[in-house]
Amino acid sequence: MRWFGVRGSWFVVLGACVAAATFAPHLRAADVEKGKAVFEQCAACHSIDGSGDYDGPSLKGVIGRKAGSLEDYRYSAAMTRSGVTWDAASLDKYITDPQAFIPGNRMAFAGIADQVERDDLIAYLTVATR
């Protein structure tokens, strides 16, 4: 048996190609401008600058903020007790399926299943909500 002969090297190359194709979508850089377009789904209920009277809390300063901590918004008990601090990973889980991540929260949103759209949205929120 020759593991790394001519025949073996084809398997290595084939394996590398399959691995690259599998993980390639996650290697792309998030697009802030596309994230701005995705945010339009959120803009009906959330502001990014703290202005206006919206159904949802302002997202200004959301990165690094403890969930349920804004003084001027009435959160669900589930959100207040969640212990979540918003960062890219927690936002990704929440935006995927808000009810699964924090059961009993009041956000009436089904979530965004597409990883690329979530990555773009989180990139936009990171920049726009500072």
Handedness of CA 86, 89, 92, 95 (dihedral sign): negative
Total Cβ atoms within 10 A of residue 120: 24
- Report which residue type is found at 11: F
* Of 46, 93, 88, residue with least CA distance to 64: 88
Read off the amino acid at residue 78.
Answer: A
Give mean pLDDT, residues 11-26.
46
Average pLDDT, the chain: 87
How large a percentage of the chain has pLDDT more than 70?
79
Residue 121's pLDDT is: 98
Report the candidate in 120, 94, 119, 98 with the shortest Cα–Cα distance to residue 109: 98
Query: What is the reported pTM?
Result: 0.79
Q: What pLDDT is attached to residue 7? A: 54
